[in-house]
Amino acid sequence: MGDASPARPTIAGRLIVVVGPSGAGKDTLMSYAAQHLKERPEVVFVRRVITRDGGSGGEDHDAVSDAEFRRMAQSGGFTVWWEAHGLCYGIPIETRHQIDLGHVVVANGSRAALPHFSAAFPAMTVINVTARPEVLATRLELRGRETRDEILQRLQRSSPQLVGPYELLTIDNSGSIEEAGQAMVDALTRYLPAFSCR
């Protein structure tokens, strides 16, 4: 009897949750990474379900009504869901299947919802996108919703410590998009297998 073929290595999937304060540029860096990793089908960017008008700008998402969101949540349609700023956000249940297949799944999350994420996904990494306070203030001021003083006061109040049973990486997005975007790409590709069979 010949020698048995070597066992194929098990590829463990992982959830990457991207968090950070308003103005840090999470969506921009995720879009940069998605563009640069579009030839890597094992990297999956989650399309969130949000109770927000699909034409309101911002991230590309599935827009649903409050009633539809509640129906999806009650029927087990989400692995994680949370409320923030008067809206509901959901991570579709299909995310778990993608991770079971060994994919690196990237989701735009919330710092306040991290306990829910870590309970649902033991293999999880958090990427905390930050920027210097004056940079955040300038970006938020351009939105025209608050004065600069109000923004600076809010930023001082909204810097929670991220501590939990997960790996934590920090990307400073105070400088160029290219520099921080490459840091995001590098952070994601470190979890991909070193080889692929073609």
The pLDDT, as a whole number, for residue 140 is: 77
- Structure confidence at residue 159 (pLDDT): 62
Predicted local distance difference test score (pLDDT) of residue 172 = 95
Q: What is the pLDDT of residue 69?
A: 96
Give the pLDDT confidence score for residue 158 in this predicted structure: 57
Residues composing the chain: 198
Q: Which of 35, 72, 77, 8 is nearest to 181 (CA)?
A: 35
In whole angstroms, give the CA distance from residue 107 to residue 47: 8
At residue 136, the pLDDT reads 81
The H-assigned helical ranges of the chain are 26-36, 66-74, 94-100, 114-120, 133-141, 148-157, 177-189
108-149 pLDDT, tens digit per residue, is: 999 989 999 999 998 899 999 998 888 887 877 777 666 777
- Residue numbers in the known binding site are 20-27
| Alpha-carbon span 184 to 169, nearest angstrom | 10
Residue 5 is predicted with a pLDDT of 38
Question: Can you give the C-alpha Rg of the chain in angstroms?
Answer: 19
CA 16 vs. chain centroid, Å, equals 6
- 5-54 pLDDT tens trace: 344 344 578 999 999 987 888 999 999 999 999 999 999 999 999 997 75
- CB atoms inside a 10 Å sphere around CB 55: 6
Confidence tier at 198 by pLDDT (50, 70, 90): very low
Query: In angstroms, rounded to a whole number, what is the distance separating the alpha carbons of residues 110 and 80?
Result: 11
Q: Model confidence over 145-182: pLDDT tens digits? A: 667 777 776 666 556 678 788 999 999 999 999 999 99
Half-sphere exposure of 44 (CA within 13 A, CB side): 21
Average pLDDT over residues 56-69: 81
pLDDT of residue 3: 41
- State pTM to two decimals: 0.82
For the annotated binding site for ATP, the residues are: 20-27
Which tens digit of pLDDT belongs to each residue from 85-107?
A: 789 999 999 999 999 999 999 99
What was the pLDDT predicted at 165?
A: 83
Whether the pLDDT of residue 192 is over 90: the answer is no
Q: What is the pLDDT of residue 8?
A: 39
